[in-house]
């Protein structure tokens, strides 16, 4: 069932996510979204529960005259979020800037 006593060895890729439980993680999602939050729970579908989440949505606009690519990102904060696994692309420790 969902709540199982943890094993200590890393046997499969999902075990790597287990190592990040209760840690802050970075999640890349489909549709140019990223999440940064604390991983409280996950399952085999990569459904996840994240706490203290910051969602970043990135859009690209093309300037009509200069054809420049303008990257815009919108952020919002959500205290506790259930994420459906089929939107998840990758899970990683938080990216460090600089």
Partner 1 sequence: MESEAAGAPASGEVVNSIRERTISENSLVVLLQGLQGRVTTVDLRDESTAQGRVLSVDAFMNVRLKDVLYQDRRGRRRQLQDLFITGRNVRYVHIPDDVDMMKTIQNQLDKIHRVRSFGSEGRKEFSKKSN
| # residues near partner 1 by CB under 8 A | 21
Task: Tell me which residue of 3, 17, 45, 20 sits closest to 83, measured CA to CA.
Answer: 45
Instruction: Tell me whether residue 20 or residue 47 sits nearer to partner 1 (CB atom).
Output: 47
Q: From the CB of 69, what's the least distance to partner 1, in Å?
A: 22
Task: By CB under 8 A, tell whether 45 contacts partner 1.
Answer: yes
Stretch that binds partner 1, among 9-17, 39-47, 60-68, 89-97 (CB under 8 A): 39-47
Task: By CB under 8 A, tell whether 32 contacts partner 1.
Answer: no
Distance CA 31, CA 98 (A): 25
Tell me if residue 23 falls in helix, strand or coil. Answer: coil
Stretch that binds partner 1, among 5-13, 15-23, 41-49, 60-68 (CB under 8 A): 41-49
Tell me if residue 84 falls in helix, strand or coil. Answer: coil
- What Rg, from alpha-carbon coordinates, does the chain have? 16
Judged by the rule CB under 8 A, the positions of this chain that interact with partner 1 are 1-3, 40-45, 47-49, 78-84, 86-87
């Amino acid at each position: 069932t969902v709540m199982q006593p943890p094993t200590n060895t890393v046997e499969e890729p999902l075990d790597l996510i287990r190592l990040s439980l209760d840690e802050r993680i970075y999640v890349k999602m489909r549709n140019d979204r990223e999440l940064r939050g604390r991983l409280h729970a996950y399952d085999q579908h990569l459904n996840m529960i994240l706490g203290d989440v910051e969602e970043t949505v990135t859009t690209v606009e093309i300037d009509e005259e200069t054809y420049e690519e303008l990257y815009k990102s919108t952020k919002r904060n959500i205290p506790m979020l259930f994420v459906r696994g089929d939107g998840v692309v990758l899970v990683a420790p938080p990216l460090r800037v600089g």
